[in-house]
Amino acid sequence: MVIENASYIHYSDTEGLQIGARTPIRDIGSYPPVENGFPILVEAADSIGDDATLEERLLRPEASLDFYPSLIALGAEAAVEDPGRTSVTPIEHLDNGTKAAGRLIEVRIPAVPPHCGAAYKKLPASGETPPLGVAVMVTLDPKHVQVLEARIVLGGLGPRPVRAGRAEDIVRGQPIGEQVIRRVAQAVSEEAERIFPGLSPAGREGLRKLTDQAIGDAIYLTQPDFFSGG
């Protein structure tokens, strides 16, 4: 059910999260099902220091950081009110023109499936480097030895988050291991340079480190023994 002009959060194991567009970010991060099942959203909420609502965070010009990359990594969808109908679209297709073309009503996030882990990491602005963020979601095979699928989303490189498609291709189908993580992190750094040629060497190195940390944390949520040698 879509409730217009409302602040609300609902969760079920079958439908996942449904979040009203006017829900404050701080309420999302402190909602018990989010704390227990969506730590990536808690990380993203903790990195935001204002009282913005979900709608404000997604539709403002600097929306490419924090919640937006995390929602893309989780495969979220947006319910948008258009004249005479309500349409649902992948959140990554939402843009800053939505206020004019339609109105965001609700964000829907599927329940995290088994064998999946997701994490968000952010680098504050420093010198000539803008604030940067990386959101990652990985799906492992049932034995937790191979990456079946991955979403790697970069924030801060422009008005919209961007998927690191080449890096996703590198990790997909690979056995989990530190060497693969390093390769993927380096690929993200190189892909960021192609997407945003003005990014400083410090910015590229920052994205490399963020990606390394985010992938490691996402795998750890699914396979803690990987980092303990078990």
Percent of the chain past pLDDT 70, that is, above it, reads: 90
Return the CATH number at 158.
3.30.390.50
Last residue of a domain, one of 50, 75, 109: 109
For residues 149 and 82, state if they share a domain. Answer: no
Pairing of strands 77-82, 16-20: unpaired
Identity (one letter) of the amino acid at 83? P
The span from the CA of 123 to the CA of 36, in Å, is 24
Same domain, 120 and 218: yes
| % residues pLDDT > 90 (the chain) | 52
Residues 43 and 92 in one domain: yes
pLDDT at 84 over 50: yes
Q: Above 70 in pLDDT, residue 215?
A: yes
Quick one: 14 and 94 in the same domain? yes
Which of 109, 140, 156 represents a domain boundary (last residue)? 109
**20-66: per-residue pLDDT in tens?**
999 999 899 899 999 999 999 998 888 776 678 888 888 775 667 77
In a domain, 1, yes or no: no
Q: Which residue did the predictor score with more confidence, 177 or 151? A: 151
Range list of H helices, 52-177? 54-59, 67-73, 98-101, 165-171
CATH number at residue 77: 3.30.465.10
Domain that holds residue 62: 9-109
Tell me how many domains the chain contains: 2
Indicate the pairing of strand 116-123 with strand 162-163. Answer: unpaired
Choose one of 77, 109, 141: the last residue of a domain: 109
Side chain identity at residue 208, one-letter code:
R
Whether residue 4 is contained in a domain is answered as no
For 220, how many CA atoms within 13 A lie in the half-sphere containing its CB? 12
Same domain, 221 and 120: yes
Residues 32/136/212/140 CA torsion (nearest 10 deg): 90
Mean pLDDT lowest for which of 49-53, 129-133, 160-164, 181-185? 49-53
Q: Where are the beta strands (DSSP E) in the chain?
A: 9-12, 16-20, 77-82, 85-90, 103-109, 116-123, 132-140, 147-155, 162-163
